[in-house]
């Protein structure tokens, strides 16, 4: 049966820097830009929980960049707690973690096999679409990705329990505007290298 990918775009809220974790929303029942929606109570998580790794861009030939410590359904959302390896263990995964923490990456994608679905007409972004409403589906994997499809906010740490402790505050920079611009440029450069590396990899596979 065909594996379906659905991407959601969300904002990172609170991050536990010491544990390198945050809570995220893998999917919600809100229709995406294609008019598709996924019933939260229809998820079959059995096989995923046996190997809860989180890939980069559905690239299964590379090591995972994170793992899901917990997965749960809460209301209309499928939630998971992502943990990333230490910088010395996997530098690329550390870059991905920092880009989520800084808000330069915002999306995750679920890969699943539909078990039961129906056609449903919905209104989204002022358009009437005949989308698919997935009623029952088996979760195969979760991936970190760059391109969003669902307009709802995704990474939502602190959904349960107290907020994670943060790092001690650094002294204020005498040039805050320059510092902010420099941090943004560095993060954008890291993201550009990340995307370029993956493009080169995939182009090499098809050349």
- Is the confidence at residue 88, as pLDDT, over 80? yes
pLDDT reported for residue 121: 87
Mean local confidence (pLDDT), 116-137? 87
Geometric angle at alpha carbon 58, from 80 and 66, rounded to 5°: 40
103 contacts 14 by C-beta, under 8 angstroms: no
- Low-confidence winner among 55-64, 110-119, 172-181 (lowest mean pLDDT): 172-181
Q: Tell me how far apart the alpha carbons of residues 133 and 102 are, in angstroms, rounded to a whole number.
A: 33
Q: Tell me how far apart the alpha carbons of residues 191 and 52 are, in angstroms, rounded to a whole number.
A: 25
Tell me the domain boundaries of the chain: 4-160, 175-207
Band of pLDDT at residue 186, cut at 50, 70 and 90: low
**Residue 11 in 3-state DSSP?**
coil
Q: Among positive and negative, which fits the CA dihedral 106, 112, 115, 117?
A: positive
Q: Tell me how far apart the alpha carbons of residues 206 and 199 are, in angstroms, rounded to a whole number.
A: 11
Q: Tell me how far apart the alpha carbons of residues 100 and 60 are, in angstroms, rounded to a whole number.
A: 21
pLDDT digits (tens, 9 = 90+) for 133-174: 999 999 999 999 986 444 442 454 443 333 333 333 333 444
- Is the confidence at residue 77, as pLDDT, over 70? yes
pLDDT reported for residue 1: 60
* Token reading at 91: 């530098």
* Token reading at 102: 């800084």
pLDDT reported for residue 151: 41
- Per the listing, tokens 């596979």 go with 205
pLDDT digits (tens, 9 = 90+) for 48-69: 999 999 999 888 899 999 999 9
Q: Which residues pair with 139 in a beta bridge?
A: 112
Give one word for 129, left, alpha or beta, with left for phi > 0 and alpha for psi -120 to 50: beta
Rg (CA), the chain: 18
9 contacts 106 by C-beta, under 8 angstroms: yes
Band of pLDDT at residue 103, cut at 50, 70 and 90: confident
pLDDT reported for residue 196: 59
């Amino acid at each position: 049966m065909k594996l379906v990918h659905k991407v959601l775009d969300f904002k990172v809220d609170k991050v536990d820097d010491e544990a390198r974790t945050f809570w995220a929303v893998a999917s919600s029942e809100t229709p995406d830009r294609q008019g598709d929606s996924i019933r939260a109570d229809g998820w079959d998580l059995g096989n995923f929980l046996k190997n809860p790794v989180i890939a980069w861009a559905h690239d299964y030939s590379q090591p995972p960049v994170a793992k899901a410590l917990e997965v749960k359904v809460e209301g209309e959302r499928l939630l998971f707690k992502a943990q990333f390896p230490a910088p010395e263990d996997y530098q690329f995964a550390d870059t991905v973690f920092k880009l989520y923490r800084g808000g330069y990456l915002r999306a995750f994608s679920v890969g699943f096999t539909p078990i039961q679905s129906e056609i449903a007409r919905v209104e989204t972004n002022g358009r009437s679409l005949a989308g698919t409403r997935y009623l029952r589906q088996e979760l195969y994997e979760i991936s970190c990705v760059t391109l969003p499809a669902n307009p709802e906010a995704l990474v939502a740490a602190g959904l349960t329990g107290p907020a994670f402790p943060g790092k001690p505050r650094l002294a204020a920079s005498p040039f805050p505007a320059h510092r902010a611009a420099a941090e943004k440029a560095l993060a954008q450069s890291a993201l550009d290298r990340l995307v370029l590396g993956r493009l080169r990899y995939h182009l090499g596979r098809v050349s």
